[in-house]
Amino acid sequence: MTKYILKRLGMAALTLLVILFILFLLLEFMPGSPFNDEKLSPDQIANLNALYGLDKSPVIRFLIFVKNVVLHQDFGISFVIKKNAAISDMISSRIGITIKIGLQAILIGTVTGIVLGVIAGIKRNTIFDTLTTIIAVLGVSIPSYVFALGLSYYFGYKMRLFPITFDIDDTVRSMVLPSIALSMFVIAQTARFMRMELIDIFKSDYIQLAESKGLSNLKVIIRHALRNAMIPVITVLGPLLVGLMTGSLVVEKIFGIPGIGSLLIQAIQVNDFNVVIAIAFIYSFLYIFVNLLVDLLYGIIDPRIRVQGGGTNA
Amino acid sequence: MLNYDKSRFERIFRDSSNEREILVHNASFFQDTLKRFKKNKGAVVGLIVITIVLFFSLIGPFMNSYKYDQVMTEYEKLPPRIPIVEKLGILDGTIVETKTKARAKINPDYERIVKEYVVNGKEMVDVERNIYKEKGFDDVYFWFGTDTLGRDQWTRVWTGTRVSFYIAFLAVLIDMVIGITYGMISGYKGGRTDTIMQRVVEIIVGIPRLVIVTLLVLVLNPGLMSITLALILTGWIGMSRVVRSQVLKLKSFEFILASRTLGSSDSQIIIKDILPNIFGQVLVMSMFSVPSAIFYESFLAFIGLGLQPPMASLGVLISDGYKSIMVYPHMLLFPVVILALLMLTFNLLADGLRDALDPKMKEE
């Protein structure tokens, strides 16, 4: 087990380092210099370069870059969006709302998805099953931003139940529509997965054993089937996070939410490289972290996985 | 013992007259698959819809005289109007506006009241206004309306759909070429090669696709080129993993050993023995990567990282239409419907193919 954990940790660290390296390369080769004021004389520029350590060799600069990012969460300053503002401050004031909406979407999505999946799995080939399948197919096929647009048009504009754009004075109601729009994808994925798992489990020997021992249906479902079906659902979390990330960009744009997704879009549009790179790093970090967590959790819960080597040989 | 009337039975002997004629021919794998595929209604409907959309994306832009980037400011923001259909009261070049009754001045030439009601003590009316009549364009028809610059939406929608099909084709091609090759080498060679190749895959998988695309756009300019590159960089990972695990499994089978004993070279084994056995899964897998690729292009265009106007793709059109969703919902409606339809039908098609190629999955 220790070996497995160490291997996964090492892989995650290596991936993170590769990302940092790519980001560093991009910063290096990006056109322009931070000191492009025409009034500066060559001497002054040399002084500034020395002050910020830009005269050192690339290897040392890379190490400094890694140290700043990893130890101090220091991504430098923004050049365009907010001149000379520290990017870490810009991000920390915005990341809260992005994570909050993401968590709400996961919560709404997994609970609804699991309930739908369980109903469909138990009542197979009934109207509930068909309905769940339809919801699952639609949820996977229709892009989250189409949902978001539809929701904002009908519930925001036509029925005026919720604010169309984000309202700082009424954050609770403002977050309803974005969370629902994001959760559709989650619902579809979990429902589909849960249904498949349950159907598999109902065919297994230990369920037959439990039934033949005379346990009530409810007990069989709750004590034996559900418990085992819940474990693999953890693995859906990784792909879900990707969906949430792309979804957050779009949903934040549509509803005008001041999160890091809309900051990224803005930064790309005005070419604020430092900000883009900082957010790219944060997204990658989140992604690697969650995937690591899922793998480790799964390894702990289900011993078969770590013997096979982390599910990579799937 | 049973009591029965022996006279009701008669002994017969075997001859050609009572031998049952074999009516069912042995179905080949392909015929079997086709039969199962045809039974799946969703998949068949999906295939038909995809064909229709493909047809219009090829022919549609030539069905009228407008160009996709032709700006005609005199025709800006017109709602859809289609001859013959307009007599049914839909797509007739009208929009409905809500006004207070006191403010509404009805010009009977092109306006009429469709609904009167009271909200918060105020008398409101819904007024249906025929923009074409109001502006005097009696013989002008824009089937899907026009956008804010007066470009013909019909031409733009179908031109944009072509981009989606290009992406779909690209996704399949990348899966088939890069994904299969990579997975095949990794799985077949095994050992050290496999370890190194799998570490590379793990690193690429560890970086979210969104980040890769974002960085590519920073280096290149947003457009079809950076999307294509992003797909080439990341699109084949899933396929390579499936191919690798299949090859690993097949490699230990006896028929491979037999083939090797008979003197087949590696390339013969791969092409003649392994590829045909994984083809079904490969096909299904590549079909599943199509909807996600189509979605990705439109998503990038929507957040401003994809194609840029005046180029048209479904994402560009949705992004444009969304800006005026409250006033001119028609600008959004058509591209959204076609995008959703494409993704849905490709999903259905892939599902159908999977069930048809691998009946075991379905019979569970």
In this predicted structure, what is the pLDDT of residue B17? 65
The band of A222, judged by pLDDT with boundaries at 50, 70 and 90, is confident
Question: Using the beta-carbon criterion (under 8 Å), do B339 and A14 form an inter-chain contact?
Answer: no
Cα gap A102→A90, rounded to integer Å: 19
Give all domains of chain A, ordered by start, each with its CATH number: 2-91 (no CATH), 95-258 (1.10.3720.10)
Query: Does the pLDDT value for residue B86 go beyond 60?
Result: yes
Nearest CA in chain A to B297: A143
Give pLDDT, residue A312: 41
Q: How many CB atoms lie within 10 A of CB A24?
A: 19
What is the pLDDT, as a whole number, of residue A309? Answer: 46
Q: Domains of chain B (ranges plus CATH)?
A: 46-65+149-361 (1.10.3720.10), 82-135 (no CATH)
Cα torsion A225, A231, A235, A236 to 10°: value is 50
Residues whose CB falls within 8 Å of the CB of residue A245, separated by 6 or more in sequence, listed in order: A261, A283, A286, A287, B208, B210
Count Cβ–Cβ pairs < 8 Å, chain A vs chain B: 113
Q: Do B291 and A245 touch (CB under 8 A)?
A: no
Name the residue among B206, B214, B339 with its Cβ closest to that of A143: B339
Separation of alpha carbons B291 and B164, rounded Å: 9
pLDDT for residue A314 is more than 60 = no
Between CA A105 and CA A290 the distance in angstroms is: 16
- Mean pLDDT confidence for A76-103: 81
Q: List the single range of A267-271, B163-167, B257-261, B272-276 with lowest mean pLDDT.
A: A267-271
Query: pLDDT value at position A45?
Result: 77
Check residue A303 and give its pLDDT. Answer: 66
Of A171-175, A195-199, A225-229, which has the strongest mean pLDDT?
A195-199
Q: In the predicted model, is pLDDT for residue B361 greater than 60?
A: no
Q: Average pLDDT for residues B328-351, to the nearest whole number?
A: 85
- Confidence class of residue A311 from pLDDT cuts 50, 70 and 90? very low
Q: Kindly list the residues from chain B whose CB atom is less than 8 angstroms away from the CB atom of residue A157.
A: 325-326
Residues of A in contact with B245 (CB under 8 A): 313-314
Q: Which of B245, B291, B305 sits opposite A141 (nearest CB)?
A: B291
The stretch A220-246 carries a mean pLDDT of 77
Cα of B347 to nearest chain A Cα, Å: 7
- Of A149, A276, A314, nearest to B214 by CB-CB distance is A276
- CA dist B274 to B169, B187, B197, B243, B252, Å? 24, 11, 20, 10, 11
CB B144 within 8 A of CB B157: yes
Percentage of chain B exceeding pLDDT 70: 90
User: What pLDDT was estimated at residue B200?
Assistant: 86
| pLDDT tens track for A283-296 | 888 888 888 888 88
B199 has pLDDT over 80: yes
Compute, in degrees rounded to 10, the torsion defined by CA atoms B10, B16, B17, B23: 120
What average pLDDT does range A272-280 have in this prediction? Answer: 83
Chain centroid to Cα B212, Å, comes to 23
Q: Which of A42-46, B184-188, B207-211, B331-335 has the highest mean pLDDT?
A: B184-188
State whether B207 and A18 contact (CB < 8 Å): yes
Look at residues B53, B344, B42 and name the one whose alpha carbon lies nearest to residue A141: B344
What pLDDT score does A13 carry?
87
List of chain A residues whose C-beta atoms are within 8 Å of the C-beta of residue B202: 11, 15, 312
